Chains A and B, each alone.
Chain A
Amino acid sequence: MRVTFPHMGNLYIPLKAMLNYLEVDVVVPPPSSKKTLNLGVKHGPEFACMPLKLNLGNFIEAREMGADTIIMAGGCGPCRFGYYAQIEHAILKDIGCDMQLIVLEPPEKNISELIVKMKKITGSRSWWQVIQAIRFGYQKALAVDEMEKTAFQVRPREAKPGATDRAFSEALTLIDNAASQVELAEARKKADTIMAGVARKHGAPVVRIAVIGEIYTLLEPFSNHRLERHLGLLGVEVDRSIYLSEWVNDHLLFGLVKNLRSSKDACASASPYLCHFVGGHGQETVGSAVNYALAGYDGIIQVYPFTCMPEIVAQSILPGVGSDYDIPILTLIMDEHTGEAGLQTRLEAFIDLLARRKETREAVNR
């Protein structure tokens, strides 16, 4: 059994670590690229959202590398993601990529369904080993997120353009290569030093923007045209409404780890704008917008894939948040036709607006 899984940003690092810990043979698909997307667009349904098309492309590319089993998460709606695996499987079968599919989702009748599926992956390993593997994976997720947060801080202030990117990818490789808990602790230390070593310039005015929206387009840089990097290079300090480790904690560890931002807080802040969950991260998006406005951010960017239902609900409601809290909100919708140049122009215009607003406000306050 050679196992593969879809890409979602740096998810591959903790997932690979976890599966390797269980001695499962893993095939990480090549990073999502234009080719991946083209494969997905060619074989996927036209109006499906972009994550489905990219998943599909990932699987086809992994198949070429010898993978024969897919691990996917599932769900029970109302967002389309809950039916991804089944549709993707049917499509793969039709184009002659017959792969075994293991969908981990909330069991319909009783927990034994889930356990049977888990056993397919873990084989004869004991539950203790499984728990250790999850712990190891989670620690990697935390380490990756830490590096990412540092990169968000450093990038707008870097003295030499591109220095942060180089340091960041070096740090990621270190974390990815750590094979045990001890090695990981060492890798973390080294990675910290590398990130701290990026030369910074002083006195650059920095605008703060929060990026919110649908989780896949937020976490997968290919799907958002490396939005956060663009913002950073334009001198913007970025924060993102959801990080990998937070998502894992909320959805897979049932909130076991305390002192982490959780989706519950975001949902609580969404009222009175959106008083009910709408699937996906729609309610979290509205709530995070409120939280970021209260935290004094200069602007908010919502990102989601074309036709994403929960985010469309959020988009309809966000103008209310924007006018109540006096904060500009830009919505960016990603699909296979989105071009990088157009995105760049819109970002520059948005940042100009924010910078000017900030200047006027500071002049008035002075």
Chain B
Amino acid sequence: MKVGIPRALLYYYYYPMWRTFFEELGAEVVLSSPSTRVTLTQGLKHAVDEVCLPVKLFFGHVLDLTGKVDFIFLPRMVSVEHRKYICPKFLGLPDMIRRLDGLPDLIGVDVNLYRKNRDLYTAINKVGSLFTGNKFKIFRAYRNSVKTLQKYCRLLQMGLMPAEALAVLENNVGDKPLGYPLEMNVAVIGHPYNIYDPYISMNLVGRLKEMGANVLTAEHVPEKILRSNAARLPKKLFWSLGHRMIGAAYHYLDRQDISGVVHVAAFGCGPDSMTGELIERHARALRAPFLNLTLDEHTGEAGIVTRLEAFLDMVRWKKAEAAGL
């Protein structure tokens, strides 16, 4: 049986886990192709105008999988940790997708850990029982998938980008020499599905590296530090991803070796409009170099490049000034 996984949204967090789980149960996992103009155009055609860019792209990835697989894995990700949600659109996503014509069967299950962690296991059993009646096999698949996820997270915290970490997990790292240390560190804060998708972010991470900046993201910061930094807010933030972004931004803004922060928001993203405001206010108070990039389907490459160049110039001037040059 072929199970399709869209290369979008929480793919960047959970793909290694999902893949291990399905493969242990004897299914073949098929990923949608990397985002392209076509993926986005397909998404734009089928989603309402008002949804945010990453959800439009998700529509495109789902459509890319139709005809290629028996099932599409589309869990309703309500909450992945105690007392926190992802975002309202994730809660309604399966209902929005189901309206598309000609889809293969969807593996839909509610993942809701808002109240208690145990609820995850119910969801896992439900998915697993589609493939086997053997409870022990499901349990073993689950255990191994969690192990893979932990390994993936450790690789991320060592400073790898998701694509690099996946390459290590899949054992297909090329024989390239490691690069030289770059002249400065820049933190890029944004939703994983915006900053790690090279098409949507216009290869933001790669471009910064080419321009001489080493890139750090929220995924490079250990959970504990994220949490203690996010606790500086007057009220606990109830979005998992926003909480992460705030914690990372506050952490990086405090660090002396970080020269600047780039905040990447998707146009129409609700949580970004609030967390972005909080991060920007904090950066302004600290007088730290800060760039806010809003991405949408009309964003032009040239505009992004110009703004990045200007931002890095500013960072360099500031560094030179601090060095007394």
Contact = CB atoms under 8 A, between A and B. Distances in A.
A319 interface: yes
A113 B293 CA distance: 39
Contacts of B48: 312, 315-316
Given A76-B83, A80-B271, A282 B277 contact: no
Contacts of A279: 85, 88, 91
Best-buried of B86, B268, B273 by chain A (most CB within 10 Å): B273
Contacts of A315: 48, 50
Nearest to A105: B235
Interface in B260-297: 265, 267-274, 276-278, 281, 294
Interface string A65-102: 00000000010111110110011011000100000000
B235 A280 contact: no
A222 interface: no
Contact of B92 (A77, A83, A316, A319): A316
B273 A312 contact: no
B237 interface: yes
Given A45-B277, A78-B238, A79-B88, A312 B50 contact: yes
A232 interface: no
A307 B268 contact: yes
B233 interface: yes
Nearest to B50: A312
Best-buried of A46, A47, A74 by chain B (most CB within 10 Å): A47
Given A275-B95, A317-B95, A319-B99, A312 B51 contact: yes
B319 interface: no
A49 B237 CA distance: 18
B229 to A, nearest CB: 16
A108 B82 CA distance: 12
A280 to B, nearest CB: 7
A48 B51 contact: no
Contacts of B236: 108
Nearest to B266: A47
A309 interface: yes
B95 A77 contact: no
Contacts of A78: 85-88, 91, 238-239
B235 A313 contact: no
A312 B49 CA distance: 9
Interface string B60-98: 000000000000000010100001111111011001100
B265 to A, nearest CB: 8
Interface of A: 45-49, 74, 76-80, 82-83, 86-87, 89-90, 94, 103, 108, 273-280, 282, 306-310, 312-317, 319-320, 333
30 contacts: A47-B265, A47-B268, A48-B273, A48-B277, A76-B83, A78-B85, A78-B87, A79-B88, A79-B270, A80-B273, A80-B274, A86-B234, A87-B274, A89-B234, A90-B278, A276-B91, A276-B95, A278-B89, A282-B92, A307-B268, A308-B270, A309-B89, A309-B270, A310-B92, A312-B89, A313-B95, A313-B96, A316-B47, A316-B92, A316-B96
Given A78-B238, A87-B274, A312-B50, 13 more contacts: A45-B274, A46-B273, A76-B238, A77-B84, A78-B85, A90-B234, A279-B88, A282-B88, A309-B270, A310-B92, A316-B96, A317-B99, A320-B99
